[in-house]
């Protein structure tokens, strides 16, 4: 099950890192310009030869700026930027070197890119190749409603109904800003540096692609959402995020892990990367086995989920304060932290509610090397319906704990999200109505078996374990009751309104560098004149 053969230099960096030293991020939704309006088998217009060649040239140059997941030591400034100018980090190792001041570059930039189905089609991906992608990606996160306006199966499965319906989204939904071909994921150290990076990339795509616009932006600005990492990776609800993450086997991080932490964290590469063995020893390939010359666009790629979740911090604090008064008899910081911790499943700084084993010395192991069945079977420390227990049940869903732990490894997602919007001071009122929340971003090799299963079967499941009529307290789905397991009697917290609303989202494919080069090379092979024909259109 090892990853000795993983081609990390062909894998985009987001699979390996969340770029913690590059605290500012922008997500540029874009679409190709000047595409030929004609019907194709996919229902998507494909650029004629001249425009596709221009798109391919842009993609080829973009590949030179993409940060890879290579963790082989590399020090130096990439050739595209000379000493003294901004440096596009070539790799994860390069990001580290730049962060440690081992180069002369005053600014560090990182770039990854992902595509929608339409974006791949416009780059010349054939219908036969597109058909090998998962149905979830092919259909999209928010398929159009039926003739009577009712949401489709996927919207219902994800809980994207009522106030969370794609009809109300500011991007990616049924009405607004849903015709994009991809997303640029840009990272920089400071807001000023990020602004320069965004400007540089918009200039680079000029005439080939353009950022999309939304009627929800009346000031005429493009849709370029921005996120940032706050101190201690705090989110708007006051908790450190991104603590429990799957780690691909045989990577440097996995190799450093003590055994108890490896048991709950390390996964086969195929759970997060296509083209490699997963827990079942299966390998997903998009290559036609009957065609030796066929290209495999899956290898080194993965699916990217992006959802914009607006968070109602004042409502969250209201509920926590009222619950603290009802349960603890007082509304002070300690009581609020106890209530909020029960909802999330961790203390604000990220420490688990389940006391760590006395023999654990490694700090990360003490935070994350725990099991629910053996250490907290009844949920007396960490409530059964808490956010972290639903999002990753570990050893609790299966015929026995060891089998359950193995099964849980098949459903892990790698989270790369960031908060957006200004932080609201604990007792402050200034800016309480500002737009703030979380860009939920995750990577997984199977949208159905990972992200969608976690959402539907665990997070939003009202019958999760022995619960009835409850959902994840941090979910956008409505359910006003939360149970805190206790002795001699359970504590029921009621009166909860949803703290979260979905306002945008989409499924993307984050390809490997080899796949992007193959797409660009095919486009560059076309003629340059307007009479040049596209292979897709004859």
CA distance 170 to 428: 28
pLDDT digits (tens, 9 = 90+) for 154-180: 999 999 999 999 999 999 999 877 889
The answer to whether position 250 is within a domain reads no
CA distance 387 to 459: 7
On the question of pLDDT at 81 being above 80, the answer is: no
Are the C-beta atoms of residues 369 and 266 closer than 8 Å to each other? no
The answer to whether position 331 is within a domain reads yes
Cα-atom radius of gyration of the chain, to the nearest Å? 23
On the question of pLDDT at 533 being above 50, the answer is: no
Mean pLDDT of the chain: 88
Name the residue with higher pLDDT: 468 or 223: 468
CA distance 220 to 224: 12
The answer to whether position 455 is within a domain reads yes
pLDDT of residue 190: 94
CA distance 144 to 165: 11
The answer to whether position 204 is within a domain reads no
What confidence tier does 101 reach under pLDDT thresholds 50, 70, 90?
low
Range of the domain at 350: 309-500
What confidence tier does 41 reach under pLDDT thresholds 50, 70, 90?
very low
Task: Report angle CA 20, 91, 182 to the nearest 5 degrees.
Answer: 80
pLDDT of residue 392: 96
Name the residue with higher pLDDT: 46 or 487: 487
The answer to whether position 278 is within a domain reads no
Are the C-beta atoms of residues 43 and 186 closer than 8 Å to each other? no
The answer to whether position 156 is within a domain reads no
How much is the average pLDDT of 107-112?
A: 93
The answer to whether position 436 is within a domain reads yes
pLDDT of residue 215: 63
How much is the average pLDDT of 449-457?
A: 97
3-class DSSP state for residue 164?
A: helix
CA distance 361 to 173: 48
How much is the average pLDDT of 291-302?
A: 89
pLDDT digits (tens, 9 = 90+) for 277-292: 999 999 998 887 787 7
pLDDT of residue 220: 64
The share of the chain scoring above pLDDT 70, in percent, equals 88
Strands (E), 283-420: 302-311, 414-415, 418-420
What confidence tier does 221 reach under pLDDT thresholds 50, 70, 90?
confident
Chain centre to alpha carbon of residue 103: 30
pLDDT of residue 113: 99
How much is the average pLDDT of 48-56?
A: 81
Instruction: Name the nearest CA neighbour of 394 among 412, 380, 416.
Output: 412
CA distance 105 to 318: 46
On the question of pLDDT at 123 being above 70, the answer is: yes
The answer to whether position 404 is within a domain reads yes
Range scoring the smallest mean pLDDT among 5-9, 29-33, 36-40, 305-309: 36-40
How much is the average pLDDT of 461-478?
A: 92
pLDDT of residue 18: 95
Count of the separate structural domains present in the chain: 1
CA distance 61 to 80: 10
How much is the average pLDDT of 114-136?
A: 95
How much is the average pLDDT of 439-455?
A: 98
Residue listed under structure tokens 């997984």: 444
Instruction: Name the nearest CA neighbour of 270 among 307, 292, 303, 297.
Output: 303
pLDDT digits (tens, 9 = 90+) for 5-24: 899 999 999 999 999 999 99
pLDDT digits (tens, 9 = 90+) for 388-434: 999 999 999 999 999 999 999 999 999 999 999 999 988 777 888 99
pLDDT digits (tens, 9 = 90+) for 490-522: 999 999 889 999 999 999 999 999 999 999 999
User: What does the block give as tokens for 297?
Assistant: 């666009």
């Amino acid at each position: 099950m090892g990853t000795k053969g993983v081609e990390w230099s062909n894998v985009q960096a987001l699979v390996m890192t969340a770029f913690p030293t590059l605290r500012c991020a922008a997500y540029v939704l874009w679409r190709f310009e000047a595409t030929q309006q004609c019907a194709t088998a996919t229902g998507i217009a494909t650029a004629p030869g001249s425009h596709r060649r221009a798109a391919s040239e842009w993609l080829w140059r973009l590949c030179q700026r993409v940060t890879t997941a290579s963790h082989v030591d590399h020090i130096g400034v990439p050739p595209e930027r000379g000493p003294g100018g901004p440096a596009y980090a070539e790799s994860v190792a390069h990001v580290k070197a730049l962060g440690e001041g081992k180069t002369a570059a005053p600014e560090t930039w990182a770039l990854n890119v992902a595509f929608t189905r339409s974006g791949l089609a416009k780059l010349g991906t054939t219908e036969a190749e597109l058909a090998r992608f998962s149905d979830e990606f092919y259909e999209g996160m928010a398929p159009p409603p039926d003739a009577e306006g009712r949401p489709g199966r996927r919207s219902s499965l994800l809980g994207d109904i009522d106030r969370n319906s794609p009809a109300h989204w500011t991007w990616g939904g049924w009405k607004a800003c849903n015709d994009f071909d991809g997303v640029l994921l840009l990272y920089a150290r400071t807001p000023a540096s990020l602004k320069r990076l965004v400007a540089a990339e918009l200039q680079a795509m000029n005439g080939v692609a353009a950022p999309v616009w939304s009627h929800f932006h009346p000031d005429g600005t493009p849709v370029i959402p921005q996120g940032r990492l706050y101190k201690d990776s705090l989110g708007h609800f006051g908790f450190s995020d991104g603590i429990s993450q799957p780690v691909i086997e045989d990577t440097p991080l996995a190799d450093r892990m003590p055994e108890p932490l490896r048991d709950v964290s390390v996964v086969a590469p195929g759970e997060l990367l296509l083209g490699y063995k997963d827990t079942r020893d299966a390998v997903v390939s998009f290559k036609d086995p009957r065609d030796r010359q066929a290209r495999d666009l899956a290898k080194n790629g993965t699916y990217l989920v992006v959802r914009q979740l607006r968070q109602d911090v004042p409502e969250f604090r209201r509920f926590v304060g009222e619950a603290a008064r009802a349960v603890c008899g007082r509304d002070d910081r300690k009581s609020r932290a106890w209530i909020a911790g029960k909802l999330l499943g961790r203390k604000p700084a990220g420490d688990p509610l389940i006391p760590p084993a006395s023999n654990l010395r490694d700090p990360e192991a003490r935070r994350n090397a725990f099991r629910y069945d053996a250490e907290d079977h009844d949920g007396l420390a960490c409530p059964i319906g808490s956010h972290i227990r639903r999002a990753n049940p570990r050893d609790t869903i299966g015929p026995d704990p060891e089998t359950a732990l193995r099964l849980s490894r098949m459903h892990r997602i790698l989270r790369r999200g960031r908060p957006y919007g200004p932080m609201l001071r604990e007792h402050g009122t200034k800016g309480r109505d500002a737009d703030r929340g979380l860009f939920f971003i995750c990577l997984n090799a199977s949208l159905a078996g990972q992200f969608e299963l976690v959402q539907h079967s665990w997070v939003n499941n009202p019958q999760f374990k022995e619960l009835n009529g409850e959902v994840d307290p941090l979910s956008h789905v409505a359910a006003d009751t939360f149970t805190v397991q206790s002795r001699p009697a359970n504590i029921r917290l009621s009166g909860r309104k949803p703290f979260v609303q979905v306002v945008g989202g989409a499924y993307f494919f984050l390809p490997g560098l080899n796949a992007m080069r193959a797409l660009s090379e095919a486009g560059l092979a076309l003629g340059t004149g307007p009479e040049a024909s596209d292979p897709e259109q004859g």
